[in-house]
Amino acid sequence: MSTSDTPKRSLRTPLGRVRNLGAAHSGTSDFWRQRITAVAMTLLMIPALVIIVMLLGRNQVYAAQTLSSIPVAVILLLFIFASAWHMKIGMQVVIEDYVHNEKLKLVSVMLNNFFSVAVALASTYAILKLSSGV
């Protein structure tokens, strides 16, 4: 029997081969989500930086006036959502790769999710509060 006739051995389970999932059981979805958020952040970074530079050294009245513009608020909110989601995915990958204790991994992923949501909500609140002028 030649080497080409021998069946190839795989370390993946039959169900894993059928579903085409790796050890993390998420396939490539996290990979693509992280790439999509990176592209979104790249596209939104220039207008977000222009807005931030415009606000440097200005008072709160000017900031509220600038942020009350719908396009400005939308750009900043989209940038915040893309950044928070990207941060969440990136840290989750690091946790899954380097934390080997399952309980600690679960707690770390949960804390990562809560932190990412808290950052996004706090930033969204700040922008909406400034843009409403309250």
Mean pLDDT of successive 10-residue segments in the chain (134 residues)?
A: 60 62 63 92 95 92 88 94 95 93 95 97 92 73
User: How many helical (H) and strand (E) elements, i.e. helices and strands, does the chain have?
Assistant: 5, 0
- The pLDDT value recorded for residue 45 is 95
Longest dimension (CA), the chain: 82
- The pLDDT value recorded for residue 60 is 84
* Distance, CA of 66 to chain centre: 27
Q: Which domains does the chain have, with CATH numbers?
A: 28-132 (1.20.1300.10)
- The pLDDT value recorded for residue 80 is 96
CA distance 62 to 27: 47
- The pLDDT value recorded for residue 20 is 57
Residues 88 and 120: beta-carbon distance below 8 Å: no
Q: How many residues does the chain have?
A: 134
Is the pTM for the entire model greater than 0.85?
no
- The pLDDT value recorded for residue 64 is 86
